[in-house]
Amino acid sequence: MHDPASLAEPSITELFGRNSFSNAVMREWLPKTCFVELLEVQAGRKELSLEMADIVADAMKSWAIQNGATHYTHWFHPLNGLTAEKHESFIAPTGDGRVLMEFSGKELIKGEPDASSFPSGGLRATFEARGYTAWDVTSPAFLKQDATGTTLCIPTAFFSYYGHALDKKVPLLRSMDALSKQAVRVLRALGNCSSLRVVPTVGPEQEYFLVDKAYYDERPDLMLTGRTVFGSMPAKGQEMEDHYFGAINARVAAFMRTLNNELWKVGVAAKTQHNEVAPNQFELAPVFASSNVAVDSNQLVMETIRRAANLHGMEALLHEKPFEGVNGSGKHNNWSIATDDGVNLLEPGENPESNARFLLFVTAVVEAVDRYAPLLRASAAIAGNDHRLGADEAPPAIVSIFFGSLLSELLDSIADGKPLAGTGSAHRIELGVTTIPALPVDISDRNRTSPFAFTGNKFEFRMVGSSQSIATPNTYLNTAVAQVLSEFADVLEAAPDKRAAIQEIIRVSYSAHRRVVFNGNGYSDEWVKEAERRGLPNVRSTVDALAVLARDETIELFEAHKVLSRAESISRHHIYLEKYSKQVNIEAGVMVGMARRTIFPATAAYAASLARDAAALAAIGAASTAIEKRAKRIAELTGEIAGETERLEAVLGEAQGTDDVGLQAKAYRDRVVPQMDALRGRVDAAEKLVDKKAWPLPTYEELLFRL
């Protein structure tokens, strides 16, 4: 990684993609005929032959070795939400004490890591260790440079001996194919014979916190859980609104420079960076890419943020709520769909035909979001997000769509068969027959309180947690939209009058599903009541949200589009519930340990010290009432801390002893989490009374305001 002390750097154009085996690099390293054939493979029009794989592997190896690589790895996304890699060297002994540098097409397209220790949710027995990785030809290989040296990383899918998906990449790729298939059917019915494929594209905005490493190292909760399980707010938080888009301080600027350079080297087009709302909170946003490439890139972004922070004496926190009392962090998943010949299907056009197409696809998204709102909510369901969703900082746990007045009025007029306001009473919306009003690119304002906001030519799904892989949210979204498009295609293909059919589809669909459109303040209590009146689900906890994954209708949806089999769906329900329980279990265990071994001794010692001071003052006839009162209150809190710690340990043991994964997750949610809150309340109250020098942990003031 780039040395922050170095001043001599190449230009961005020289730097960008230096460590990425992109199509531009492959064009230089591969024979022309092989490169053209590989493009056909990437487009899904041809299968990768072993002969061509050998040619690509040889070129990839030569390029990697020329750039210092000694090892390669199949880089994949297991169901723990992280990335995994097993390094293999290029060397092959010759028998005479020397080695050759070898890398075959077979090694490129297929690997065999041990799968026994990755979560499978019952897809295989623990002793069944065989797993396979397969090259994702559409995602560029890249070089990772760290203390081990330089490693060629090959993005891959991960599956079991029996063909079950053991990762997040396989279902994502399947969902992309499903969406493409159904969207192309719709386009064909509309007369488009040129577009061969439709690709969902994503631009994920990544939020994160930075803290000084010295303070981080003194906080076991940050090291083990990624968030502070104790901590009271200082007098100032984010209420002055002085951090958002504020000037970036020198230390953070140096970090961002390193971060950008490292991301640009591997071809991640990091474009936007700024201070976020909370103190020491920041955001990075890349240029859009196809969903699978965006998923790979975002995993690299998270990893690189952490490594770059370490180089500058800081730690990056990607948890959804690292600090109580200030905004948490999300990951805004900007999603759109475009044809392989460059048409954004969610962008308004300049003529009736293109606007009809735009409105048809937008309507499909509305129906998908309404029908499959529980599934979208489940895609953002992790323990960390339970601290964030519904707070006055993030979208509520109610899934709704923001359109703004212009687009809402237009769709309402079609659904109701009424003239569009401002167009004259004689004008009716007849798609493709009479003129539709010209629609500007910025057809709507932005609404940061909406969990699913239309922002001109894309939808911004804001519920996703900052630590999450975006593979799962995009898999579910792609599949939901694919299902609705398949139903639209059935109608259009059978309709003799396509224009009339388009108008009728939009009218019927939007009439039935416009309840999910809400253009107001998603943070307000009034919206919660209004959403309930509309029949929109408000799923507040991860445990409840994940239940949809095991329902027959969800399994049937995934099976219909060959995204997940029944076994794969059920396994994910099991894995995600188990992950929730494990996360809460770790946090509760950390609380018990910190309270018992760090907080209790500190508060007890300080209360005793104050009592001695009060006694000394009383002995000489000096006033000691205030000190006595303070000592008494701290002593009371010390006793309460001890009691709440014991109660937490007891309910934690009960939850740990529950075998059923669903019942166990409910036990953690209903008994352990409330007891954690009770203990935290006592500790945070004590922190406000104990002398700063006697408090054993770095405070929020230090963590949030010192870099």
CB atoms within 10 A of CB 10: 12
User: What pLDDT, on the 0 to 100 scale, is given for residue 410?
Assistant: 87
Q: Smallest Cα–Cα separation from 322: which of 248, 205, 230?
A: 230
User: What pLDDT, on the 0 to 100 scale, is given for residue 428?
Assistant: 43
| CATH assignment of 578-705, among 3.40.50.300, 3.20.20.70, 1.20.120.1560, 3.40.640.10 | 1.20.120.1560
Q: Smallest Cα–Cα separation from 258: which of 279, 244, 273?
A: 273
How far CA 465 is from CA of 358, 401, 573, 704, in Å, comes to 29, 18, 18, 20
pTM of the model: 0.92
How far CA 6 is from CA of 2, 212, 313, 315, in Å, comes to 8, 21, 16, 21
DSSP 431-490: TTTSPPPP--SS-S---TT-SEEE-SSSEEE---BTTS-SHHHHHHHHHHHHHHHHHHHH
224: Cβ–Cβ under 8 A, 6 or more apart, which residues? 586, 590
User: Are 109 and 135 within 8 A, CB to CB?
Assistant: yes
Residue 356 amino acid letter = A
DSSP structure class, residue 665: H
The phi, psi pair for 495, rounded to 5°, reads -85, 130
Secondary structure (3-state) at 143: strand
296-327 burial by CB neighbour count: b if 16+ within 10 A, else e? bbbbbbbbbbeebbebbebbbbbbbbbbbebb
CATH topology of domain 177-564: Creatine Kinase; Chain A, domain 2 (3.30.590)
Residue spans in the chain of domains classed CATH 3.10.20.70: 12-167
CATH superfamily of 12-167: Glutamine synthetase, N-terminal domain (3.10.20.70)
Per-block mean pLDDT, blocks of 10 residues, the chain (707 long): 57 90 95 93 88 91 94 90 88 70 82 71 62 88 92 90 86 97 97 95 96 97 98 81 82 95 94 89 93 96 97 97 93 95 89 86 98 97 91 79 88 82 46 48 63 91 95 98 98 94 94 95 89 94 96 98 96 96 98 98 96 89 87 96 98 95 97 98 97 96 94
Element (H, E) at 170: helix 169-189
User: What pLDDT, on the 0 to 100 scale, is given for residue 317?
Assistant: 98
Q: What is the CA radius of gyration of the chain?
A: 28
User: What pLDDT, on the 0 to 100 scale, is given for residue 549?
Assistant: 97
Residue spans in the chain of domains classed CATH 1.20.120.1560: 578-705
User: What pLDDT, on the 0 to 100 scale, is given for residue 13?
Assistant: 85
Q: Smallest Cα–Cα separation from 131: which of 91, 158, 101, 102?
A: 158
